[in-house]
């Protein structure tokens, strides 16, 4: 067995029994995955996944960054180079490298996710290591040729009730169209991610804005036309099930400028003349514009701030974005969110979900803010904090001030499709452990705990994201 | 039963037994409440409290902010409007709203406090809910008509040995006078809170300073007269039992200017010409002046920094201060306290008690500072951190570097009179849990734990506050 | 017994058994002490230690700062004054003062270390107190006259396989020479600490740089000569076993300037004309130069940033540096380390070990950085965090993202020689407790835990420091 059946539960036998009992009630609930980065093409084409390395190693930044931290070049794991330079092409070699170094993942969430995938998806019960590498490779490779392991079959096996992918505002959503037209019953929706047309520092910003205009049939050389184009695209995204927009800015800064100030900044941005501060201000103002549009069209606004992206110039030059070199940084919320919250934070029909990579803000800033502003809710622990300790710290630091009902359940935020059940299972176990501890220490009645447990595992995500 | 008799104790049976044993020794000790915001008028007039909503809902910012966070307008909870606009006047309706939404408080300290009040003060053993709202309302309402539930009777029943209220430097202390004259034996003292005459940004600062001069018989248009007026008022407060001053600045900044610089800043402040930075500098300098006065008159200096007040303009305009929209912010202590500590930090007869809303400073800044400066002590977890997890984090993060004897016991800091026993009980339980864990892990001898337990529950607060 | 044989293990009986079993396997492993501040003269001369106060009280800043925090003057503990003023000279009086106030250390790491020394080194089983002060003093004093308590005998008894002291770049290493020449088999190496010749704000910087040139036979009035002198001295230190350099800057700032910019800053520094920011920039640039030299000579680069030194002017004036008045401050790593990491962070043969006093950076910045950059490793919890809670927080916050293999085992960083076994024992116990908890919660297989346990207790330090 790779997985302990009582994993992540408290060690005290009585509390463990209670945690298990809470967990047993909710472990088979359908998965609501309201925020993530799976590829809609998988579900549109429903082709088999190519090989074990492509499925579990090469595209997973948690995995390749850890191997890389011990001196293994990204090329050796098949991570593609921007300059087209040579990288390892043999999936079996990549898999062996992963297997030999699998000890590096001891006590990391990646280890739990991968073990879960091996055991629960592929029926493997031996630990991965240099010795078992080939045998496990062959086993998975063989599975991938079977229909039961195609994307749609796995989707159904995973008991996913609804999943959201994330697409750029200037994506044509052709894979979503194909899914819609296919008649397949799986609920795969999109989310509106406009960073490329909102961030003046984004590669090709002006061209992106022009393309936005073309797609929307609006004149995006003017501020009003630009806003109209956003409205148009949001409606288009909604026609593919979208219930949310998503924004990944370097800071949590928001602004609420007069229209003339905003229009001026927009003109400067289009001309490529924004200073770094003006670019940040423009991004911040656009969050408030997005929130105002949300008041009309009902999309949930998600703010994911605080990553210092592409920390290594050398890696960025050679491999491009999203190569494990994004590092969390200290993030202010109290001052940063004030303009947005003053503009729309009192609206009970608006939902703004904020995430953080800076845990020092949970108890100090985020829980107090979410514990009073009607529009504000706290997203679950995110990215580096999507783990046993990370989730436990979130509950311990946020719950006393924000309660459970200003949070929105779990989301997996992943591109690693097979890990989705693993991640939701971790969240359900950690919440069961937390709730059982509350009951055992007289802080929550057991029947209340059962209700909260259901809410955290299923209802809150469905409700907050309107899925 | 609303309350588990072993609540907040560790779950391991042996450690729980030890925690209970420690707790049993100190649970009936008298309450020292050296810092809080109860209304002296209650004890002066000794009139019955009006109704359950006024007692437990409308004035409690922890309660109304949570309901508000889910979209309930403050008006519906009877929170008075600054502009005199309509608010709910029917206490039963307010109570029902509270009861229906009581599930929002699951796992929050408010839930423990309110349940404690319901069970221990009013003898209610059924959970509050929509179903029980009226029955519980009627029961409490009936209690409030009885003499045993008047303020002085409750004071005695709560076993309060001494309580401090907090009054503005320009308060006439008439309720304290009435208490003194009444011959009643309850020890209710005041604390000197001069924010209104120290903070150049306080509403009506110049008028307040003039009033201060009139009350003190000093010419507060001059710097020397202003300082003399403070000395005079502090003496006046001392005649009503005051042993401390209290300062709630936005930052922990202190300064120690030459008198001419300070006098200049004071002149600018009186003329309303201080920049934001100068206002902060003046407040900071006044902390050092207050500390110097403390060297003469023995008042304990309390610094409560770090709240970004009135975060929502709309709520502030409509409802005024203290409406749940004060949010903790990141607070520096190392540099901020340096001028004050360099001026007086080495004085062994001076006591400066510092509080924080920024837990990241416990282990990093506050414990190291309190662990070396003779004058500096750490106040207990405050406001949003006055809770099981908050108290546990404080002990875990501060004790190893500051020890127990650079801390000052618990204070409840509350305006919710009936919650005082509940809050001290939580502190006593959490400390018992912490001490029992230390003993069980070989970090503290059991007989030492018993001595520390008594100190934390009773002696340290009495000694630090000279009560 | 002063020490509980199961101290620091989890309280749940099953998990405790597992922790004890893990600990039993590694508790007798030799000690690798790759970073510390013991005096090489002890091992060179091998003279007896003078008396119990000089051994355990007067030189230990953890001890005297705690007593001082309660109003005891440093003079009373025999701490020498810079101005030659009178201090207590009677070691028995100092010892009694310590004993009377020993209760202040309850639940601090100092208490565990001192109790460990009393019991395990001196065979004392009674708690230290006013009553036992003289008896224990006499006992230790008598021990110190015996050969078995001389430095080399203790070194062997402590089972130290290798220890590193720390010397200034302009130290002549005469005690290390004596050790080398003595033929004694104990492995005592030095570490290259160039703060005095790298920090433009260091007392006597220009003179120090001149002395560096003289010792190295290089012209340190030029930038190239200055760098050459460093290379020369590093080689000299390597001839006394050094495998590392160590850098204790106020911030973690690094820079990677063009040589001409660096040379200019160096000239300004020599002329005493650097602004505070330029001094910081120069220090930061020198870290990158040191790293480049490490690529050639293989020394491990240690960065120990974040202490605001000499917080009290009065104490600094009277007693000088290192008097317990160094306070951690908030430290940025993401931006600060970027120039260094961009220059050399991808080098798999380089080892940069970074420490912190700001625990809020563990999960947010340091673990994500060490979890991707090949050259970067995390040092163990340091200084105020070298304790049960500090070590546990480190493991809980760093492991999930950095894993175990981007950390480097424990180092004691101490000047208190007798406390070395105590400190390593604490680390081994805490890691056993942490690992046992991981196993019990299904996050680590037991056989993997045994391997990790050995690595943390012994192998990782030996490997990372190339000892």
Which chain C positions have a beta carbon within 8 Å of B370's beta carbon?
69
SS3 C381: coil
Residue pair C334/C342 in contact by the 8 Å Cβ criterion: no
User: Once rounded to an integer, what is the mean pLDDT over residues A156-163?
Assistant: 98
A101: left (phi over 0), alpha (psi -120 to 50) or beta: alpha
The CA radius of gyration of chain C, in Å to the nearest whole number, is 22
Q: Quote the tokens at residue A69.
A: 């931290």
- Kindly provide the residue ranges of all beta strands, DSSP E only, lying in C97-175, ordered along the sequence: 160-164, 167-168
Q: Quote the tokens at residue C177.
A: 């020479």
Closest to B10 in 3D by CA, of C431, C435, C11, C437? C11
B90: left (phi over 0), alpha (psi -120 to 50) or beta: beta
CA B130 and chain centroid, separation: 32
**d(Cα C275, Cα C272) in Å, to the nearest integer?**
9
Per DSSP, the residues of A86-109 read -----HHHHHHHHHHTGGGGTTSH
Span A113-141, pLDDT tens digits: 999 999 999 999 999 999 999 999 999 99
SS3 C420: helix
Q: Is C193 exposed, middle or buried (0-12, 13-18, 19+ CB in 10 A)?
A: buried
Buried b (16+ CB within 10 A) or exposed e, A294-331: beeeebbbbbbbbbbebbbeebeebbeeebbbbbbbbb
Q: Where in chain B is the domain with CATH 3.20.20.140?
A: 13-38+151-465
Long-range contacts of B443-449 (CB under 8 A, 24+ apart): B443/C7, B443/C8, B443/C107, B443/C111, B443/C112, B443/C388, B444/C106, B444/C107, B445/C127, B446/B18, B448/C103, B448/C106, B449/B22
* B334/C389 touch (CB, cutoff 8 Å), yes or no: no
User: Once rounded to an integer, what is the mean pLDDT over residues A208-216?
Assistant: 98
Q: Quote the tokens at residue C16.
A: 């405790």
Q: Is A100 exposed, middle or buried (0-12, 13-18, 19+ CB in 10 A)?
A: middle
Q: Where in chain A is the domain with CATH 1.10.2020.10?
A: 48-149
Which chain C positions have a beta carbon within 8 Å of B341's beta carbon?
311-312
Closest to A423 in 3D by CA, of A460, A455, A385, A393? A385
Task: Please give the helix or strand (H or E) that residue C353 lies within, else none.
Answer: strand C352-354
Interface test with C, best of A132, A314, A327, A436 (most C CBs within 10 A): A327
Percent of chain C past pLDDT 90, that is, above it, reads: 99
User: Once rounded to an integer, what is the mean pLDDT over residues C39-49?
Assistant: 98
Q: Quote the tokens at residue B422.
A: 């509940």
CATH code for the structural domain at A48-149: 1.10.2020.10
Question: According to the model, what pLDDT value does residue A83 have?
Answer: 87
Span C444-462, pLDDT tens digits: 999 999 999 999 999 999 9
User: Once rounded to an integer, what is the mean pLDDT over residues C420-439?
Assistant: 98
Q: How close A312 gets to chain C, by Cα (Å)? A: 6
Residue pair B303/B335 in contact by the 8 Å Cβ criterion: no
Quote the mean pLDDT of chain A.
Answer: 97
Indicate if the pLDDT at residue C83 is higher than 90.
Answer: no
Task: Please give the helix or strand (H or E) that residue A33 lies within, else none.
Answer: strand A31-33
**d(Cα C43, Cα C39) in Å, to the nearest integer?**
8
* C442/A70 touch (CB, cutoff 8 Å), yes or no: no
Q: Quote the tokens at residue B379.
A: 């106040």
Chains within contact range of chain B (3+ C-beta pairs < 8 Å): A, C
User: Once rounded to an integer, what is the mean pLDDT over residues C135-156?
Assistant: 98
Indicate if the pLDDT at residue C232 is higher than 90.
Answer: yes
Residue pair C357/C385 in contact by the 8 Å Cβ criterion: yes
Beta bridge partners of A352: A301, A376
Q: Would the CA dihedral through C34, C39, C45, C46 be positive or negative?
A: negative
Span A30-39, pLDDT tens digits: 999 999 999 9
Residues in chain A: 467
Percent of chain A past pLDDT 90, that is, above it, reads: 99
Indicate if the pLDDT at residue A18 is higher than 90.
Answer: yes
Q: How close B404 gets to chain C, by Cα (Å)? A: 7
* C389/B374 touch (CB, cutoff 8 Å), yes or no: no
Span C238-293, pLDDT tens digits: 999 999 999 999 999 999 999 999 999 999 999 999 999 999 999 999 999 999 99
Closest to C402 in 3D by CA, of A69, A148, A199? A69
User: Once rounded to an integer, what is the mean pLDDT over residues C167-173?
Assistant: 98
Q: Quote the tokens at residue A122.
A: 């592929």
- Kindly provide the residue ranges of all beta strands, DSSP E only, lying in C362-452, ordered along the sequence: 376-378
Which chain B positions have a beta carbon within 8 Å of C384's beta carbon?
363, 367-368, 400-401
Residues in chain B: 467
* C330/B364 touch (CB, cutoff 8 Å), yes or no: yes
The CA-atom distances, in angstroms, between B56 and each of A401, B37, B46, B64, B137 are 18, 15, 18, 10, 11
SS3 B188: strand
Sequence-ordered list of residues with C-beta below 8 angstroms from that of B224, at least 6 positions apart, any chain: none
Q: Which of A400, A405, A452 sits opposite B389 (nearest CB)?
A: A400
**d(Cα B123, Cα B117) in Å, to the nearest integer?**
8
* C441/A106 touch (CB, cutoff 8 Å), yes or no: no
Q: Quote the tokens at residue A48.
A: 């088999």
Q: How close B203 gets to chain C, by Cα (Å)? A: 33
Span A413-450, pLDDT tens digits: 999 999 999 999 999 999 999 999 999 999 999 999 99
Interface test with B, best of C307, C389, C393, C423 (most B CBs within 10 A): C389
**d(Cα A389, Cα A256) in Å, to the nearest integer?**
37
CATH code for the structural domain at C13-38+151-465: 3.20.20.140
Residue pair C426/C112 in contact by the 8 Å Cβ criterion: yes
Interface test with A, best of B1, B6, B11, B397 (most A CBs within 10 A): B11
Cβ atoms within 10 Å of B260's Cβ, excluding its own: 9
Residue segments in chain B with a per-residue pLDDT below the cut of 70: none
Indicate if the pLDDT at residue C443 is higher than 90.
Answer: yes
Q: How close C52 gets to chain B, by Cα (Å)? A: 23
User: Once rounded to an integer, what is the mean pLDDT over residues A42-48?
Assistant: 98
∠ CA C120-C123-C125, rounded to 5°:
100
**d(Cα B40, Cα B193) in Å, to the nearest integer?**
15
Chains within contact range of chain A (3+ C-beta pairs < 8 Å): B, C
Residue that has been written with the tokens 């047993």 in this structure = A24
Residues in chain C: 467
CA A291 and chain centroid, separation: 20
Per DSSP, the residues of C180-205 read HHHT----EE--EE-HHHH-TTSTTH
Residue pair C397/B404 in contact by the 8 Å Cβ criterion: no
Residue that has been written with the tokens 């997890």 in this structure = B389
**d(Cα C427, Cα C404) in Å, to the nearest integer?**
14
Closest to C364 in 3D by CA, of B312, B212, A331, A218? A331
């Amino acid at each position: 067995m790779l997985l302990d059946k009582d994993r992540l539960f408290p060690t005290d036998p009585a509390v463990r029994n209670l945690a298990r009992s809470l967990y047993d009630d909710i472990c088979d609930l359908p998965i609501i995955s309201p925020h993530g980065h799976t590829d809609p093409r998988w579900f549109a084409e429903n082709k088999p996944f190519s090989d074990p390395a492509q499925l579990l190693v090469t595209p997973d930044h948690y995995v390749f960054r850890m191997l890389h931290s011990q001196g293994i070049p990204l090329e050796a794991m098949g991570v593609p180079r921007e300059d087209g330079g040579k990288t390892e092409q043999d999936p079996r070699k990549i898999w062996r490298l992963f297997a030999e170094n699998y000890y590096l993942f001891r006590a990391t969430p990646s280890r739990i996710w991968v073990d879960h995938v091996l055991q629960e998806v592929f029926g493997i019960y031996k630990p991965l290591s240099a010795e078992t590498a080939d045998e496990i490779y062959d086993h998975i490779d063989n599975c991938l040729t079977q229909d039961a392991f195609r994307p749609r079959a796995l989707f159904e096996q995973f008991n996913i009730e609804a999943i959201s992918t994330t697409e750029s505002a200037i994506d044509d959503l052709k894979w979503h169209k194909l899914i819609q037209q296919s008649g397949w019953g799986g609920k795969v929706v999109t989310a509106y991610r406009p960073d490329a047309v909102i961030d003046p520092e984004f590669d090709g910003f002006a061209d992106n804005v022009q393309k936005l205009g073309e797609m929307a049939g609006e004149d995006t050389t003017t501020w009003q036309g630009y806003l109209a184009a956003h409205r148009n695209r949001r409606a288009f995204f909604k026609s593919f099930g979208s219930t949310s927009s998503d924004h990944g800015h370097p800071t949590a800064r928001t602004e609420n400028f007069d229209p003339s100030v905003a229009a001026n900044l927009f003109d400067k941005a289009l001309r490529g003349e924004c200073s770094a501060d003006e670019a940040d201000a423009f991004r911040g103002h656009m969050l408030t514009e997005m929130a105002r549009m949300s008041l009309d069209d009902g999309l949930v606004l998600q703010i994911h701030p605080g990553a210092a992206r592409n920390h290594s110039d050398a890696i960025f030059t050679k491999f491009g974005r999203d190569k494990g070199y994004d590092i969390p940084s200290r993030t202010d919320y109290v001052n940063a969110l004030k303009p947005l919250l003053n503009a729309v934070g009192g609206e009970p029909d608006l939902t703004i979900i904020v995430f953080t990579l800076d845990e020092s803000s949970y108890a100090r800033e985020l829980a107090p803010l979410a514990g009073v502003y009607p529009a504000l809710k706290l997203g679950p622990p995110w990215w580096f904090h999507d783990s046993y300790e990370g989730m436990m710290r979130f509950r311990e630091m946020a719950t006393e001030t924000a309660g459970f009902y200003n949070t929105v359940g779990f989301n997996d935020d992943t591109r690693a499709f097979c890990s989705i059940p693993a991640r939701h299972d971790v969240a359900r176990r950690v919440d069961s452990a937390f709730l059982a501890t509350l009951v055992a220490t007289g802080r929550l009645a057991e029947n209340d705990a059962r209700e909260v447990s259901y809410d955290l595992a299923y209802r809150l995500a469905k409700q907050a994201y309107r899925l």
